[in-house]
């Protein structure tokens, strides 16, 4: 019954409204809505304080990144076919994607943007975000690629996600400075880990020859191997034992080791300088391209090489240094330090020019 109603409503939008509205305008709204949201963002900058607007837009970008990834995950879980593939007589004005239908990512993302503006801003322009989100979302059944229920599901989920993100933002803002830094760091690390897991599962990157070689080692357990130590094979063995012989099973240790590296780097920066230095060093480690790639690709490089000599070097450094350092945490951290350079950069970045 509900399916029949949904199909009937789809044809009302797809046939009747498509005939009443100019196709070029509908296609523009469905394809290029980002330009319209950019116009609203520029108007916000002109009417509000710069810092508050920048914080609002930053939260919007983070929320949309989460919503977009969440939408694709839910599409695969629900597995509903698009009407342009399932229904005869559907009039399609744009490319009918290969992904599933529910929820509509257009609706999910635009209502996430609008929801952040609605729940966080007091400016009347927040209602313009909501109107624009509704217009963009409703073009999807008109162009023939979504049912109306896909739009409703996406809009509801987007508003709920936006509300949660704004509440999280307010809660973090209410914490003391010390707790705020560590909380934000954990949120960043959790977000980066989730993104990497998402990319490993849904991205186009197959196992590299080295990764396949190390996975082959797991089929012949040993205490050592001809060219490398056994740790990389042991970690892959744990990953594949839990998640199966998949790309994710092979690479999940790299995701966790990337998080651990930043945590240990934060400890080193905190002990050598202060919490803020540790925070920026840990975040910088996550976004440097080389280290960021090693958070996805499970190889021995940078994660296991030179562990023994770096640990010994740090023991020597902590013993000889005149600074008040926490030697225990620094010994743990040493295997992950290209880090003195990263910490120096984080410290220098705080100094006035």
Contact 30, 84 (CB under 8 A): no
pLDDT in tens, 313-344: 465 456 556 454 454 544 444 444 444 444 44
User: Rg for the chain (alpha carbons), in Å?
Assistant: 25
The residue among 125, 157, 173 that closes a domain is 173
**What are 305's two structure tokens?**
């090489």
60 and 186 together in one domain: no
- DSSP-H helix ranges across the chain: 2-11, 18-20, 23-31, 33-47, 50-78, 83-86, 105-120, 125-142, 148-173, 177-202, 209-218, 231-243, 247-272, 275-287, 289-293, 307-320, 327-333, 339-350
Dist CA 210 CA 225 (whole Å): 14
Confidence (pLDDT) at 338: 46
Position with higher pLDDT, 162 vs 16: 162
Name the average pLDDT for the chain: 80
To the nearest 10 degrees (0 to 180), the angle between helices 339-350 and 247-272 is: 60
pLDDT at 325: 47
Q: Which domain holds residue 157?
A: 2-173
Domains in the chain, number? 2
CA 15 distance to own-chain centroid: 38
The string of pLDDT tens digits covering residues 257-290 is: 888 888 877 877 777 778 888 888 888 888 888 7
Please tell me whether residues 47 and 90 are part of one structural domain.
yes
Q: Which of 186, 191, 195 is nearest to 296 (CA)?
A: 195
Considering the domain architecture, whether residues 276 and 145 belong to the same structural domain is answered as no
Shared domain for 274 and 344, answered yes or no, is yes
Contact assessment for residue 301 and residue 294, using Cβ atoms and an 8 Å cutoff? yes
Give the residue from 173, 195, 224 where a domain finishes: 173
State the helix-helix crossing angle for 105-120 and 148-173, rounded to 10 degrees.
Answer: 40
State the pLDDT confidence band at 353, using cuts at 50, 70 and 90.
very low
Q: Do 30 and 71 belong to one domain?
A: yes
* pLDDT average, residue stretch 14-25: 82
Same domain, 159 and 182: no
Phi-psi map region of 70: left, alpha, beta (phi>0 left; psi -120 to 50 alpha):
alpha
Looking at the structure, tell me whether residues 201 and 340 fall in a common domain. yes
Predicted pLDDT of residue 173: 81
Concatenating the DSSP letter of every residue in 170-238 gives: HHHHTS-HHHHHHHHHHHHHHHHHHHHHHHHHHSS-PPPHHHHHHHHHHTS--S--SSS-SHHHHHHHH
pLDDT at 256 over 60: yes
**Do 133 and 200 share a structural domain?**
no
Q: Is 138:30 a contact under the CB 8 Å cutoff?
A: no
pLDDT computed for residue 259 by the predictor? 86
Are 160 and 125 within one domain? yes
Supply the pLDDT for residue 159: 93
For 100-138, how does the pLDDT look when each residue is reduced to its tens digit (9 = 90+)? 888 999 999 999 999 998 898 787 888 889 999 999 998
Q: What count of other Cβ atoms lies within 10 Å of the Cβ of residue 156?
A: 14
- Predicted confidence at residue 315, as pLDDT, reads 56
Length of the chain: 353
- Same structural domain, 250 and 321: yes
Give residue 16's pLDDT band: very low, low, confident or very high (50, 70, 90): confident
Q: What is the CATH number of the domain that holds 135?
A: 1.10.606.20
**Domain identity same for 124 and 160:** yes
Residues 51 and 196 in one domain: no
CA distance 152 to 286: 36
Long-range contacts of 235-238 (CB under 8 A, 24+ apart): 235/298, 236/298
Q: Write down the pLDDT at residue 101.
A: 85
């Amino acid at each position: 019954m509900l399916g029949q109603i949904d199909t009937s409503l789809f044809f009302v939008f797809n046939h009747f409204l498509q005939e009443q509205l100019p196709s070029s305008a509908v296609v523009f709204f469905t394809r290029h809505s980002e330009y319209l949201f950019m116009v609203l963002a520029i108007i916000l900058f002109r009417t509000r304080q710069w810092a508050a607007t920048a914080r609002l837009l930053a939260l919007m970008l983070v929320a949309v990144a989460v919503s977009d990834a969440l939408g694709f995950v839910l599409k695969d879980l629900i597995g509903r076919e698009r009407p342009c593939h399932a229904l005869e007589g559907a009039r399609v004005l744009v490319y009918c994607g290969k992904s599933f239908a529910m929820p509509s990512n257009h609706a999910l993302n635009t209502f996430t943007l609008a929801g952040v503006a609605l729940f966080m801003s007091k400016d009347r322009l927040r209602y313009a975000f909501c109107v624009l989100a509704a217009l963009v979302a409703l073009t999807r059944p008109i162009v023939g690629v979504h049912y109306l229920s896909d739009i409703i599901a996406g809009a509801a989920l987007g508003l709920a996600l936006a509300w949660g993100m704004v509440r999280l933002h307010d809660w973090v803002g209410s914490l003391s400075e010390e707790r705020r830094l560590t909380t934000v760091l954990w949120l960043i690390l959790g977000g980066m880990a989730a993104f990497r897991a998402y990319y490993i599962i849904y991205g186009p990157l197959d196992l590299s020859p080295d990764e396949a070689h190390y996975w082959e080692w797991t089929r012949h357990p040993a205490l050592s191997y001809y060219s490398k130590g056994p740790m990389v094979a042991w970690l892959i063995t744990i990953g594949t034992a839990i998640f199966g012989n998949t790309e994710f099973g092979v690479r999940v240790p790299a995701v966790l080791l990337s998080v651990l590296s930043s945590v240990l780097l934060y400890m080193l920066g905190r002990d050598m300088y202060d919490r803020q230095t540790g925070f920026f060093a840990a975040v910088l480690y996550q976004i440097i391209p080389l280290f960021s790639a090693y958070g996805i690709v499970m190889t021995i490089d940078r994660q296991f090489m030179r562990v023994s000599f770096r640990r010994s070097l740090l023991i020597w450094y902590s013993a000889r240094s005149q600074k008040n350092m926490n030697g225990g945490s620094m010994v743990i951290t040493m295997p992950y330090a290209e880090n003195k350079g990263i910490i120096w950069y984080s410290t220098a970045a705080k100094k006035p020019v």
